[in-house]
């Protein structure tokens, strides 16, 4: 038995390594596509995170023989190419489906994602899914919507409570202002300290003291009047002799001398 040629061994090794490193592998039949159309397909898949390669089916079967990718063996009939997906599987499936709608010669056979086989129905369902960024945005919106609603309910709760209390007070005729005033006056009365009334005995003592002090005051007034009257009399007597020489009495002796 002849040994395989080195170039064939290199291709088998390449296919095995690329299948192991890829997130998924999608097999297609490209019969009827021109070289330019295949080049355009490669560009579309490259933008979706895929790489489109054509290998001989016999070499691919050797690469997957006895491995976890052996489920792809039934699909290796006719001119087959492999799309190695390193990004999102849904994006690559969508790119292949959209291109097949424009170029019907491209036929999607199936593929593998991890250890799971992907049929054409699975790939069509994956192609209908939105991208990862869109899914994350939708998930964030779905999480944020209840949170925003809950925050709105928390903000509306005090406002609705105030409206309810206001309506209840209006139904009952307003706030009970008159009922609140006696309570306030009673509180004010409680806050005023009690004034102790003096007993009767201190009153008697005070009146007795006042009566005792009254004669003393009277004596002071009498003595003051006596002193004032005495001074007046003394001053009057002192002034009289000074005026006497001006009024000389006419006596018989004085009259004789004058005659």
The answer to whether residue 146 is domain-embedded is: no
Is residue 107 domain-shared with residue 215, that is, in the same domain? Answer: no
Q: What is the DSSP string of 44-58?
A: HHHHTTEEEEE--HH
Is residue 12 domain-shared with residue 100, that is, in the same domain? Answer: yes
Name all contacts of 103-108 with Cβ < 8 Å and 24+ positions apart: 103/33, 103/37, 103/41, 105/30, 105/31, 105/32, 105/33, 105/37, 106/28, 106/29, 106/30, 106/33, 106/41, 107/28, 107/29, 107/31, 108/26, 108/28
The residue from 95, 112, 133 where one domain ends is: 133
Please tell me the total number of residues recorded for the chain in this structure: 259
- Of 107, 99, 84, 92, whose CA–CA distance to 25 is shortest? 84
Highest mean pLDDT of the ranges 52-61, 186-195, 196-205, 218-227: 52-61
The answer to whether residue 196 is domain-embedded is: no
On the question of pLDDT at 61 being above 90, the answer is yes
Is residue 122 domain-shared with residue 221, that is, in the same domain? Answer: no
Residue 69 lies in domain? 6-133
Is residue 124 domain-shared with residue 230, that is, in the same domain? Answer: no
The answer to whether residue 185 is domain-embedded is: no
Entry pTM: 0.52
The answer to whether residue 166 is domain-embedded is: no
What is the Cα 67 distance to its own chain's centre? 57
Residue 132 is predicted with a pLDDT of 66
Question: pLDDT band at 2, cuts 50/70/90?
Answer: low
On the question of pLDDT at 55 being above 90, the answer is yes
The answer to whether residue 141 is domain-embedded is: no
Over residues 76-112, the pLDDT tens digits come to: 999 999 999 998 899 999 999 999 999 999 999 999 9
Of all residues in the chain, what percent carry a pLDDT higher than 70?
59
The answer to whether residue 143 is domain-embedded is: no
* Residue-averaged pLDDT of the chain: 73
The answer to whether residue 115 is domain-embedded is: yes
Is residue 98 domain-shared with residue 17, that is, in the same domain? Answer: yes
On the question of pLDDT at 127 being above 50, the answer is yes
The residue from 111, 133, 155 where one domain ends is: 133
Over residues 209-259, the pLDDT tens digits come to: 444 444 444 444 444 444 544 444 434 444 444 444 444 444 444 444 443
Residues 6+ apart with CB under 8 A from 244: none
The answer to whether residue 106 is domain-embedded is: yes
* DSSP H helices in the chain: 6-21, 35-47, 57-64, 89-102, 120-128, 132-171, 177-191, 200-243, 252-258
Q: How many structural domains compose the chain?
A: 2
- Of 36, 135, 57, whose CA–CA distance to 89 is shortest? 135
- Of 62, 139, 134, 148, whose CA–CA distance to 94 is shortest? 134
Give dist(CA 84, CA 92) in Å, integer: 9
Q: What is the CATH number of the domain that holds 77?
A: 3.30.70.1730
């Amino acid at each position: 038995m002849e040994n395989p040629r080195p170039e064939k061994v290199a291709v088998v090794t390449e296919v095995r390594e690329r299948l192991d490193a890829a997130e998924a592998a999608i097999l297609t039949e490209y019969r009827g596509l021109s070289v330019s159309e295949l080049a355009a397909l490669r560009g579309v898949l490259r933008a979706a995170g895929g790489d489109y390669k054509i290998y001989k089916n016999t070499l691919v079967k050797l690469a997957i023989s006895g491995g976890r990718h052996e489920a792809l063996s039934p699909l290796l009939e006719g001119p087959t190419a492999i799309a190695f997906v390193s990004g999102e599987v849904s994006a690559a499936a969508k790119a292949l489906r959209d291109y097949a709608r424009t170029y019907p010669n491209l036929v999607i056979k199936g593929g593998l994602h991890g250890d799971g086989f992907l049929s054409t129905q699975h790939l069509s369902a994956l192609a209908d899914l939105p991208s990862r960024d869109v899914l994350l945005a939708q998930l964030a919106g779905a999480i944020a919507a209840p949170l925003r609603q809950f925050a709105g309910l928390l903000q509306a709760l005090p406002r609705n409570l105030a409206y309810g209390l206001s309506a209840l007070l209006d139904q009952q005729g307003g706030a009970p202002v008159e009922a609140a005033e006696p309570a306030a006056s009673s509180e004010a009365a409680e806050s005023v300290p009690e004034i102790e009334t003096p007993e009767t005995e201190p009153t008697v003592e005070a009146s007795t003291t006042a009566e005792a002090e009254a004669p003393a005051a009277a004596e002071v007034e009498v003595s003051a009047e006596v002193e004032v009257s005495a001074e007046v009399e003394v001053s009057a007597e002192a002034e009289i002799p000074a005026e006497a020489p001006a009024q000389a009495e006419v006596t018989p002796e004085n009259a004789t001398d004058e005659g």
